C-alpha cells in the first residue's frame, strides 16, 4: 500500500517517538512506572499544574525510599522510611505542591524533611527550599542524597519544626509534611504577608484535615480545609 506524504510523515514521527521512549526506558528503568504514577494517580485525581506534573515525572522517587522497599516507590500509598516516618503517597505530594502555588522567586520553608523527596519536588519550582527534620539520621541522609543528586538550592537543618527557621524568615511559602494539632504560631509569624502555608492539621483521634492558609497583605489569616488526610504526627522536641 502506497502512503501519502502526510501519512509517511506521521509514520516516521510515531516510529521516532517509539524509539525515543524505548531509549529513555533503557536509560531509566523507572521512567515508565513514574509516567504511569502521574497519569493514573495524579492527573486522574485532578492535579493540573503542568510544572507540578513535570517535576513529578522527573523526580526519581525510588532513590528516596529504602532499597528493600523500592519496588513500592511508584505505588499509590505512603512508604515507611524508618524512625516511624513515611514518604507520602505520590498524589498527596503532588496535591500539596499544587496547593502551595510555588513560583521561581519563592523562598520556601518545609517542616519534615523525611527522606528529602518533597524538597526535591519543590526545588526546580522555587528559588530556595529550607527544610527542617527532627530526626537527626533522616536529616543527615536526606542532606547527603539531595547534594549527591545536585539539588543545590535546598538547605537541610536538623531541628524542631515547631520553632521554624527564624534566621531565614520570612518565607513566601511554608509546607508542613507531618501533622501538628494546630499550626504553630511561629510558622504563622514566619510566613510573609501575601504568603501561603499548606499543612495537615489534627490528630489520629479526632481526625486530620489538609488545610491551606493565606496570609493577607495586612497580616490577616484566611484558612480553608481541602480534604481529610492521615499523616504521622509532628514531633515536638528541643532545638538541637
> Which residues have a catalytic role annotated?
88
Prior bond of 155 cis (ω within 30°): no
Burial 83-119 (b: 16+ CB within 10 A, else e): eebbbbbbbbbbbbbbbbbbeeebbbbbbbbbbbbbb
Q: Residue 68 burial (CB < 10 Å; 0-12/13-18/19+)?
A: exposed
The grid coordinates listed for 73 are: 516507590
Other C-beta atoms lying within 10 Å of the C-beta of residue 6? 8
For the chain, how long is the longest CA-to-CA vector?
76
DSSP 39: I
Burial 124-155 (b: 16+ CB within 10 A, else e): ebbebbbbbbbbeebbebbbebbeebebebbb
- Residue among 155, 185, 150, 188 at smallest CA distance from 170: 188
- C-alpha span between 57 and 37 (Å, rounded): 8
Amino acid at each position: 500500500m502506497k502512503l501519502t506524504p502526510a501519512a509517511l510523515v506521521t509514520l516516521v514521527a510515531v516510529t521516532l517517538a517509539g524509539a525515543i521512549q524505548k531509549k529513555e526506558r533503557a536509560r531509566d528503568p523507572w521512567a515508565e512506572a513514574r509516567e504511569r504514577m502521574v497519569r493514573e494517580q495524579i492527573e486522574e485525581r485532578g492535579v493540573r499544574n503542568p510544572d507540578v506534573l513535570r517535576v513529578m515525572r522527573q523526580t526519581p522517587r525510588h532513590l528516596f525510599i529504602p532499597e528493600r522497599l523500592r519496588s513500592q516507590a511508584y505505588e499509590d500509598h505512603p512508604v515507611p522510611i524508618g524512625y516511624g516516618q513515611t514518604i507520602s503517597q505520590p498524589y498527596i505530594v503532588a496535591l500539596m505542591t499544587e496547593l502551595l502555588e510555588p513560583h521561581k522567586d519563592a523562598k520556601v520553608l518545609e517542616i519534615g524533611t523525611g527522606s528529602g523527596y518533597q524538597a526535591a519536588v519543590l526545588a526546580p519550582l522555587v528559588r530556595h527550599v529550607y527544610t527542617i527534620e527532627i530526626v537527626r539520621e533522616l536529616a543527615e541522609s536526606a542532606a547527603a542524597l539531595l547534594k549527591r543528586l545536585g539539588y543545590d538550592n535546598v538547605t537541610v537543618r536538623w531541628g524542631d519544626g515547631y520553632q521554624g527557621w527564624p534566621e531565614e524568615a520570612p518565607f513566601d511559602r511554608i509546607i508542613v509534611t507531618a501533622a501538628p494539632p494546630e499550626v504553630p504560631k511561629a510558622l504563622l509569624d514566619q510566613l510573609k504577608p501575601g504568603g501561603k502555608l499548606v499543612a495537615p492539621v489534627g490528630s489520629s483521634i479526632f481526625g486530620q484535615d489538609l488545610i491551606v492558609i493565606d496570609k493577607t497583605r495586612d497580616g490577616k489569616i484566611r484558612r480553608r480545609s481541602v480534604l481529610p488526610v492521615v499523616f504521622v504526627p509532628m514531633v515536638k522536641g528541643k532545638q538541637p
